[in-house]
């Protein structure tokens, strides 16, 4: 795992400032503390920070082909590189290292832009081909590894593994993007391809960008997508057996390392399944790392211990205090743009613990999205059954009116009593799911933003992110639709972002077997009935794991990796929260309606409402603003 950075003159061959390139590379030292290097030639500068995992002695970057005409800087792992080497050697390519990085330069020479189709792994890389005068960037299919870039007014392409790399360049437009603010307060993160700054973008998962010097810059190209065909004819027994073998293969590929390796073990189904698979593949005890909480409501360490005992792992546990909120400013600096998933705190702590014992850790991330594990999926499916009982043209006016008029409807059948149920029935599937996952719902965001800021948004709504992806989804199956939306948004913008930054802050590589693209494709072929059966999520996965894991782990209620925000904001963080929400930093942006900010604060602290998630979102936005005092909304104050 590493950090990459670079500059490319898309028009000519200007010499870039070596000091600038050094600052860009050094700002991400945490991503690769083992080695670092910079390569420059007229019109090109490439930087790399290395966390040594494979081929410790000869895998330095930037790495070149035989004649030095192709150079690459690479972050990630190509898990099938050992299969590609003999194929490329048969085409006449000569390898000088045992590194998976060298496969990239030769694959580019052999297959051009289509080289990414051959890679199985997590990756983000930038590649310069002098002979073709071409710069090529790519990101892995599921967006495990990040890649930020900006096209500056002077014709410079600047890119890096983190937004802070781009922020070293004085030419970057650091004005806040109003549409990014709207997305942040809906999702808790800024969705790809946008960033919080107008001048920067994220390359989306499964995208490449190929720029030939002197030619117009094309739009990024998508090279892969998951198709929810749901047409696999396997029986339940056969699907269960094949799932076990496919997980085993995915884990095996991710156990290739020349440094200490282990796994996160939360006590949930996904991480426990990964650990069980590792134990079956390893002659030595598996290193496992868990975080315990001193608050029993959030502590699942006993279940992790069950799995550790069953497989006799070398188990490391540390207890996190329930008032572990000192990381707020650390997280703001770590994520660069606003990020509001409070589970970033325990994730940071478990990465901190793991790095004391291993350099590579396997995780269970991706299981919920791929196998139907979230409770909100079951809620959505129940709502969809009710919605499908009546045409949308009838539902929308009838239940829309009821949702507005009746705050309570005790006369109605039980399923129709809640105001929120009426509102849900008036929506289409995409609107309903967007509403369910939004931190601040549409009406709350309208109240939160000032009149001037709403004018700046010009009608933009974050649901457009979902609409854009839903166009490519299987909208005939309600579960497939929302799984696809989560794979494109939540998994990338929230989960992968959280794990990448938290792990890289501690120079730890995290690998995700449940995000192997071949496994994801196969799971998307299974009927939805094998994923959710009645009220049981991840049905086929749990059945597959029954021989390997105790029922107490497989069938207990899902807990999640949460922190006690509501209690913090009514107790130890009460004064700080009031200072932030009603303070000058938020007020001076002109973005917010101060009366509504006061309402959120007072309603929560009185106990009338639980506004802990919206308040945490505001707290992290304010921390972002303080950490990036050079950033400004334009205009700074809205009329």
Q: What is the pLDDT of residues 429-483, one digit of tens each?
A: 999 999 999 999 999 999 999 999 999 999 999 999 999 999 999 889 999 999 9
| pLDDT tens digits, 213-229 | 999 999 999 999 999 99
Q: Tens digit of pLDDT for each residue in 509-544?
A: 999 999 999 999 999 999 999 999 999 999 999 999
383 shares a domain with 289: no
364 annotated as belonging to a binding site for a ligand:
yes
- Give the pLDDT score at 410: 46
Whether residues 71 and 150 fall in one domain: yes
Mean pLDDT check: name the lowest of 109-113, 393-397, 628-632: 393-397
pLDDT band at 635 (very low <50, low <70, confident <90, very high): very low
pLDDT of residue 630: 61
Contact 81, 163 (CB under 8 A): no
Q: What is the pLDDT of residues 155-180, one digit of tens each?
A: 999 999 999 999 999 999 999 999 99
537 annotated to a ligand binding site: no
Q: Are residues 603 and 533 in the same domain?
A: no
Residue 582 lies in a domain: yes
263 with 341, same domain: the answer is yes
Average pLDDT over the chain reads 91
Q: Residue 421's pLDDT is what? A: 66
pLDDT of 409 higher than 60: no
610 assigned binding-site residue? no
15 band by pLDDT with thresholds 50, 70 and 90? very high
pLDDT the model gives residue 353: 94
Active centre residues (catalytic)? 2
Within 8 A by CB and 6+ apart from 269, the residues are 364, 367, 373, 538, 541, 542, 545, 549, 553, 554
Helix (H) or strand (E) holding 448: helix 442-448
* Residue 230 is assigned to a structural domain of this protein: no
**Residue that wins the pLDDT comparison between 287 and 568:** 287
> Measured between alpha carbons, how far is 291 from 303 in angstroms, rounded to an integer?
12
Give residue 399's pLDDT.
Answer: 59
522 in a domain, yes or no? Answer: yes
Average pLDDT, integer, range 316-343: 87
**Tens-digit pLDDT profile for residues 573-583:** 899 999 999 99
The tokens 């009935």 sit on which residue? 529
- Asked if the structure places residue 637 within a domain, the reply is no
Of all residues in the chain, what percent carry a pLDDT higher than 70? 91
At 544 the three-state DSSP class reads helix
Band the pLDDT of 618: cuts 50, 70, 90: very high
267 is in an annotated binding site: no
123 and 196 assigned to the same domain: yes
Q: Whole-angstrom Cα distance, residue 383 to residue 375?
A: 13
Instruction: Show which of 462, 483, 504 is a domain's final residue.
Output: 483
Give domain status of residue 543, yes or no: yes
> What is the tally of structural domains in the chain?
4
Q: What is the pLDDT of residue 321?
A: 76
Look at 111-115, 306-310, 395-399 and tell me which has the smallest mean pLDDT: 395-399
Is the pLDDT at 127 greater than 90? The verdict is yes
**pLDDT tens column, 59-104:** 688 999 999 999 999 999 999 999 999 999 999 999 999 899 999 9
Residues 245 and 328 in one domain: yes
Q: Is the pLDDT of residue 404 over 70?
A: no
pLDDT tens per residue across span 232-242: 999 999 999 99
Residue 540: its pLDDT value, please?
98
Residue 68 corresponds to which tokens in the numbers above?
A: 């030095």
Q: Domain for residue 231, yes or no? A: no
What is the torsion angle, in degrees rounded to the nearest 10, for the CA atoms of residue 597, residue 602, residue 604 and residue 607? Answer: -160
Answer whether residue 12 shows pLDDT above 70.
yes
394 shares its domain with 301: no
Same domain, 168 and 261: no
pTM over cut 0.85: yes
- Evaluate whether residue 633 is within a structural domain: no
Q: Which of 515, 534, 555 is the last residue of a domain?
A: 555
CATH of the domain at 73: 3.60.20.10
Contact call for residues 568 and 325 (beta carbons, < 8 A): yes
pLDDT at 636 over 50: no
Which residues fall within 8 angstroms of residue 552, CB to CB, at 6 or more apart?
A: 303, 306
The CATH number given to whatever domain includes residue 546 is 3.40.50.620
Taking the C-alpha atoms of residue 409 and residue 423, their distance in angstroms, rounded to an integer, is 13
Residue 418 pLDDT > 60: no
Q: Among the three residues 449, 483, 517, which one is the final residue of a domain in this structure?
A: 483
Q: Do 32 and 76 belong to one domain?
A: yes
pLDDT mean over 332-358: 93
State which of 319-333, 372-386, 560-574 shows the largest mean pLDDT: 372-386
**Residue bearing the bigger pLDDT, 383 or 249:** 249
Task: Note whether 471 and 544 are same-domain residues.
Answer: no
Q: Label residue 299 by pLDDT band (50, 70, 90).
A: confident
d(CA 465, CA 495): 17
Question: Tens digit of pLDDT for each residue in 19-74?
Answer: 999 999 999 999 988 888 999 999 999 999 987 666 565 668 899 999 999 999 99
Same domain, 134 and 214: yes
Kindly state whether residue 122 falls inside one of the protein's structural domains: yes
Does one domain contain both 203 and 87? yes
Q: Are 297 and 564 in contact (CB under 8 A)?
A: yes
244-258, 553-567, 620-634: range with highest mean pLDDT: 244-258
Least confident of 1-10, 251-260, 318-327, 450-459: 318-327
Q: Which domain holds residue 518?
A: 236-367+486-555
Work out the angle at residue 222's Cα, subtended by the Cα atoms of residues 219 and 223, and round it to the nearest 5 degrees. Answer: 135
């Amino acid at each position: 795992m590493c950090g990459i950075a670079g500059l490319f003159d898309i028009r000519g061959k200007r010499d870039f400032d070596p000091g600038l390139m050094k600052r860009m590379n050094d700002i991400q030292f945490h991503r690769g503390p083992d080695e670092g290097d910079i390569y420059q030639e007229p019109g090109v500068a490439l930087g790399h920070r290395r966390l040594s995992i494979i081929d410790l002695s000869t895998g330095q970057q930037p790495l070149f082909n035989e004649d030095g005409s192709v150079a690459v800087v690479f972050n990630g792992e190509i898990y099938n590189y050992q299969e590609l080497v003999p194929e490329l050697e048969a085409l006449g390519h000569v390898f000088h290292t045992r590194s998976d990085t060298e496969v990239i330069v030769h694959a580019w020479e052999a297959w051009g832009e289509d080289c990414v189709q051959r890679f199985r792994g997590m990756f983000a890389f930038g590649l310069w081909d002098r002979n073709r005068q071409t710069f090529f960037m790519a990101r892995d299919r599921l967006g495990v590894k990040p890649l930020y870039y900006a096209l500056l007014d002077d014709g410079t392409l600047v890119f890096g593994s983190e937004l802070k790399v781009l922020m070293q360049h004085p030419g970057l437009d650091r004005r806040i993007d109003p549409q990014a603010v709207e997305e942040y307060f809906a999702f808790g993160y800024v969705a790809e391809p946008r960033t919080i700054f107008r001048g920067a973008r994220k390359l989306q998962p499964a995208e490449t960008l190929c720029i030939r010097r002197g030619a117009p810059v094309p739009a990024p190209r998508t090279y892969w997508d998951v198709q929810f065909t749901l047409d696999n004819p396997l029986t339940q027994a056969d699907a269960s057996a094949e799932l076990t073998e496919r997980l085993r293969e995915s884990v095996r590929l991710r156990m290739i390392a020349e440094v200490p390796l282990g796994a996160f073990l939360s006590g949930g189904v996904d991480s426990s399944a990964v650990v069980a698979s590792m134990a079956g593949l390893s002659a030595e005890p598996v290193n496992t790392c868990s975080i315990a909480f001193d608050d029993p409501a959030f502590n699942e360490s006993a279940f992790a211990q069950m799995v550790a005992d069953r497989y006799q792992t070398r188990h490391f546990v540390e207890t996190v205090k329930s008032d572990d909120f000192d990381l707020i400013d650390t997280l703001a600096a770590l994520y660069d743009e606003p990020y509001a998933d409070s589970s970033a705190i325990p994730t940071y702590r478990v990465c901190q613990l793991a790095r004391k014992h291993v350099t590579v850790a396997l995780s269970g991330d991706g299981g919920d999205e791929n196998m139907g594990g979230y409770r909100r999926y079951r809620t959505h499916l129940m709502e969809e059954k009710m919605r499908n009982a009546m045409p949308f043209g009838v539902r929308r006016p009838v239940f829309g009116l009821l949702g507005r008029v009746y705050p309570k409807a005790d006369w109605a059948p039980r399923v129709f009593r809640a105001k929120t149920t009426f509102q849900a029935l008036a929506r289409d599937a995409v609107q309903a799911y967007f509403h369910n996952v939004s931190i601040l719902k549409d009406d709350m965001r309208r109240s939160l933003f000032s009149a001037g800021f709403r004018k700046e948004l010009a009608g933009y709504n974050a649901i457009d992110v979902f609409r854009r992806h839903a166009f490519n989804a299987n909208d005939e199956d309600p579960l497939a639709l929302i799984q696809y939306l989560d794979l494109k948004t939540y998994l990338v913008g929230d989960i992968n972002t959280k794990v990448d930054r938290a792990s890289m802050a501690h120079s730890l590589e995290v690998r995700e077997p449940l995000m192997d693209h071949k496994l994801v494709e196969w799971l998307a072929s299974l009927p939805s009935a094998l994923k959710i059966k009645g009220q049981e999520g991840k049905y086929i996965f749990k059945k597959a794991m029954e021989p390997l894991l105790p029922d107490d782990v497989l069938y207990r209620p899902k807990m999640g990796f949460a922190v006690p925000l509501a209690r913090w904001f009514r107790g130890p963080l009460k004064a700080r929260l009031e200072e932030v929400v009603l303070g000058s930093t938020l007020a001076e942006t002109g973005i917010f309606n101060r009366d509504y900010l006061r309402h959120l604060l007072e309603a929560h602290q009185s106990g009338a409402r639980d506004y802990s998630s919206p308040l945490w979102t505001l707290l992290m936005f304010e921390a972002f603003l303080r950490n990036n005092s050079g950033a400004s909304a334009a205009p700074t104050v809205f009329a």
